[in-house]
Amino acid sequence: MKIQNFLLAFFAAVFFLFAGSAPARADLKINVNVGQVNPMPIAIPDFTGSAGDDANLGHDLVDVISADLTRSGLFRTLDPKSFIQNGQQAQANPNFSEWAAINAQALVTGSISKTGNGRTRVEFRLWDVSAQEQLTGKAFMTTPTNWRRIGHIIADEIYKRITGEQGYFDSRIVYISETGPYDHRIKRLAIMDQDGENHHFLTDGDTLVLTPRFSPTSQQITYMAYYHNKPRVYLYDIDSGRQEKLGDFPGMTFAPRFSPDGNKVVMSLSKNGNSDIYTMDLRNHGVSQLTHDNSINTSPSYSPDGKFITFESDRSGTPEIYVMNSDGSGAHRITFGDGHYSSPVWSPRGDLIAFTRLYQNQFYIGVIHPDGHGERLITQGYDVEGPTWAPNGRVLAYFKELPSGWNKTERSAQLYTIDLTGFNEMKVNTPLDASDPAWSPLNP
């Protein structure tokens, strides 16, 4: 199966709009290092364009930008019915007093036009209403079919300029799509934009698939599939749809994760009733064993600099989170709370490790610093599992399983996102039940 390549090829040019982009005043900033944030009021009138397709596209683009910013929990997009100026007037000459009158702190204007070669030019500008000055502006040349991605990129630029942090909207999520009765689930790989749009199934459901993970350096996914009841590890190329078998690994408990440079995968292999952490070099398929312990060692995840690996082990008697050097030396425990800890995954910023915790029949998603201090539980539920980081390390995605059916013997699984502070939990819509998400890096 082939997925349309909508990566670098869609850019003909990207450039800054320097005119009027004076340095911003420091007060137009959202402090994201606190708990619940009062969302910043932001006005985004429809981008201007000629009648017909351009005008419709201007409205659709603003819908994508507004939805992204609103879902972050940091912005409150104002109702267009309250606007005194329309988009065309604001694009030509913003009347800041009229935007201040409706309590807008920031204003986004934009325009869309067709070029002679059939491509589309999209321009936007971000304004500080109080300072009456432009904060940033960019223009993009693209094909009309890639308009949704342009919306995500513009939302990322706005997010970055006002929060000071990298955006995460121009990214995707791969996950396991599930259907069927609880004792005979059909599981398929599926991929979508982070907002649930542009959804595609990558596998047909003939084989059981588990634990997909994105490469940090290329448009590849690694996952585990059972073929004739034997576990295999695969690489899936998103652009071409080509699958490559890495090997047959009887008894493997979890699918591999990529190293930060994309040249290795780290995984847990079970041999003779014992599971240990191994790495495989993707260039020559050489396998190296990292742990040598008579216990369960599983769920490994690299630090973003590649120097360390976090993993789950029951060597202390109960499942806990450990950290070791990437060569397997220096393993030490970092969790000491009650209950069981599992599925650790390192933040792309390197500052935190997310995990699942089971305590008194309740599941939690939490975070902890790599040195073991500062543990925080940010959400809980009947069954919440599988944390994965947004590419900016600010937001987590995970899945919830809830009893379903008239006698509550079935289950329903859905994806959710939540801010690192534990606020702004949002459901991610999927066509069917969904589990085990993995967030991509920003699209190249």
Decide if 48 contacts 57 (C-beta within 8 A). no
pLDDT for the residue numbered 249: 67
CB contact set of 107 (below 8 Å; sequence gap of 6+): 42, 43, 44, 90, 94, 96, 99, 126, 127, 129
CB contact set of 10 (below 8 Å; sequence gap of 6+): 142, 143, 146, 149
Decide if 214 contacts 202 (C-beta within 8 A). no
pLDDT for the residue numbered 27: 65
Region 253-277: mean pLDDT is 87
Residue 23 has pLDDT above 80, yes or no: no
| 145 phi, psi to nearest 5 deg | -70, -15
Region 78-82: mean pLDDT is 96
pLDDT tens per residue across span 188-201: 999 999 999 999 99
Predicted confidence band of residue 15 (pLDDT cuts 50, 70, 90)? very low
- State the Cα–Cα distance between residues 425 and 429, nearest whole angstrom: 13
Question: What are the structural domains of the chain?
Answer: 40-163 (3.40.50.10070), 172-439 (2.120.10.30)
pLDDT for the residue numbered 140: 95
Residue type, 277: I
Which of 359, 358, 360, 357 lies closest to 368 in space, CA to CA?
A: 357
pLDDT for the residue numbered 405: 67
Q: Which of 17-31, 41-55, 216-230 is least confident?
A: 17-31
- State the Cα–Cα distance between residues 414 and 226, nearest whole angstrom: 23
pLDDT for the residue numbered 14: 39
Residue type, 29: K
- State the Cα–Cα distance between residues 363 and 381, nearest whole angstrom: 6
- State the Cα–Cα distance between residues 51 and 113, nearest whole angstrom: 11
Predicted confidence band of residue 180 (pLDDT cuts 50, 70, 90)? confident
pLDDT for the residue numbered 253: 59
Region 329-339: mean pLDDT is 97
CB contact set of 51 (below 8 Å; sequence gap of 6+): none
- State the Cα–Cα distance between residues 390 and 349, nearest whole angstrom: 10
Predicted confidence band of residue 273 (pLDDT cuts 50, 70, 90)? confident
Residue 99 has pLDDT above 70, yes or no: yes
pLDDT tens per residue across span 401-416: 887 766 666 778 999 9
pLDDT for the residue numbered 168: 98
Which of 336, 423, 438, 321 lies closest to 72 in space, CA to CA?
A: 423
Predicted confidence band of residue 272 (pLDDT cuts 50, 70, 90)? confident
Decide if 354 contacts 342 (C-beta within 8 A). no
pLDDT for the residue numbered 17: 46
Predicted confidence band of residue 182 (pLDDT cuts 50, 70, 90)? confident
In the chain, pLDDT over 70 holds for what percent of residues? Answer: 89
